[in-house]
């Protein structure tokens, strides 16, 4: 397992850059990972990150459809906030494992 | 050993020509999956596949209960072909299948199209098939970008890292 320092905190990451221990995550760590991905986090991003982390904590499946129905953003905004591969980026920044969902 | 550089998939075009639940969803799931990965995605619907983007039919797709060797009874027992031909059986089985997909958070067809276009995916209808089935753009779902010819379709497939998949 590799270690990487984000915002002065050393966190465990896997070979794809996903944090291996979600409890090591802080807002500052999230912002530093986002910076690596070329994203500047806004309040809306943090609201979504909170949603993503809660979902994962409760062992619920994370889908773009589910995020679109979260009441925070719709799917279109979600794609804009995390350009490219939104679900992968959002989970990486949220410090949770890469999603295993197909939809 | 010579090192081969990996060429990532950049653009995908999925062609759907059939109207059964499994054929349409194969195209939708793969298309949506590509959009989720940040791959430029275009879906092209032709022949009976047009049912998937026609307002009147899109959320009432069926799966074949006759001539479908994969068909099983709930519990895994064989599904007699004779039974599949009885009135209402196909509609019932299809409704059950749609219900099961809904339980897995797989959206209905219209919502799936909206999800794909929300991520920048594009939906096209085949002009020739539209003429054949006497359909107009007004019959199609709002998320359909355009009605195009085969030539226009190939023009969209330029660039390295592009693949065409016929489902």
- In SS3 terms, chain B reads as CCCCCCCCCCEEEEEECCCCHHHHHHHHHHHHHHHHCCCEEEEEECHHHHHHHECCCHHHCCCCCCCCCCCECCCCCECCHHHHCCCCHHHHHHHHHHHHHHHCCCCCHHHHHHHHHHCCCEEEEEHHHHHHCCCCHHHECCCCCEEECHHHHHHCCCCCCEEEEEC
Percent of chain A with pLDDT over 70: 99
A96 is catalytic: no
CB contact under 8 A, A86 and B36: yes
d(C-alpha B36, C-alpha B144), whole Å: 19
d(C-alpha A16, C-alpha B52), whole Å: 37
Distance from CA of A74 to the nearest CA of B (A): 9
CB contact under 8 A, A68 and B33: no
Task: Quote the radius of gyration of chain A (alpha carbons, Å).
Answer: 13
| Low-confidence stretches of chain B (pLDDT beneath 70) | 1
Distance from CA of A8 to the nearest CA of B (A): 31
CB contact under 8 A, A86 and B105: no
pLDDT of residue B107: 94
Choosing from A15, A16, A76, A102, the catalytic residue is: A102
Q: What is the pLDDT of residues A12-64, one digit of tens each?
A: 999 999 999 999 999 999 999 999 999 999 999 999 999 999 999 999 989 99
Q: Which residues of A touch B120 (CB under 8 A)?
A: 79
pLDDT of residue B5: 87
pLDDT of residue B165: 95
pLDDT of residue A19: 95
- The residue among A92 and A103 whose pLDDT is bigger is A92
Minimum Cα–Cα distance from B29: chain A residue: A103
Distance from CA of A32 to the nearest CA of B (A): 22
pLDDT of residue B1: 67
User: Of A98, A44, A94, A92, whose CA–CA distance to A70 is shortest?
Assistant: A44
Say what the pTM is: 0.92
pLDDT of residue B147: 98
pLDDT at A90 over 80: yes
Question: Closest partner residue to A61 among B33, B105, B107, by Cβ?
Answer: B105
Q: How many CA atoms lie within 13 A of A68 on its CB side?
A: 18
Other Cβ atoms closer than 10 A to A61:
14
Other Cβ atoms closer than 10 A to B63:
19
Work out the pLDDT band at A2, boundaries 50, 70, 90: confident
User: Of B104, B95, B102, whose CA–CA distance to B62 is shortest?
Assistant: B95
pLDDT at A8 over 70: yes
| Beta carbons of B117 and B144 less than 8 angstroms apart | no
pLDDT at A67 over 90: yes
Question: Residues of A near B (CB-CB distance < 8 A)?
Answer: 61, 63-66, 68, 74-76, 78-79, 83-88, 102-103
> Which ipTM score applies to this complex?
0.90
CB contact under 8 A, B119 and A84: no
């Amino acid at each position: 397992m590799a270690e990487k320092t984000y915002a002065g905190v050393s966190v465990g990451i896997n070979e794809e850059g996903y944090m291996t221990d979600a409890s090591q995550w802080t807002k500052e760590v999230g912002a530093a990972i986002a910076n690596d991905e070329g994203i500047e986090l806004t309040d809306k991003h943090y609201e979504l990150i909170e949603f993503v982390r809660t979902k994962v904590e409760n062992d619920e499946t994370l889908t773009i459809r589910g995020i679109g129905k979260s009441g925070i953003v719709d799917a279109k905004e979600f794609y804009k906030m995390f350009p490219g591969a939104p679900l992968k980026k959002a989970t990486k920044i949220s410090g949770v494992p890469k999603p295993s969902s197909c939809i | 050993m010579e090192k081969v550089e990996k060429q990532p998939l950049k653009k995908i075009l999925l062609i759907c020509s059939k109207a059964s639940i499994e054929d349409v969803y194969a195209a939708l799931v793969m298309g949506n999956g590509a959009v989720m990965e940040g791959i430029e995605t275009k879906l092209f619907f032709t022949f009976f596949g047009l049912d998937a983007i026609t307002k009147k039919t899109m959320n009432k797709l069926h799966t074949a209960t006759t001539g479908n060797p994969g068909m099983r009874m709930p519990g895994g027992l064989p599904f007699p072909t004779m039974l599949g031909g009885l009135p209402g059986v196909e509609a019932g089985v299809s409704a059950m299948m749609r219900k099961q997909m809904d339980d897995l958070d797989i959206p209905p067809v219209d919502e799936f199209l909206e999800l794909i276009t929300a991520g920048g995916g594009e939906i096209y209808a085949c002009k020739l098939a539209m003429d054949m089935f006497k359909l107009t753009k007004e019959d199609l779902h709002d998320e359909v970008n355009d009605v195009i010819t085969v030539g226009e379709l190939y023009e969209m497939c330029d660039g390295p890292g592009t693949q065409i998949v016929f489902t």
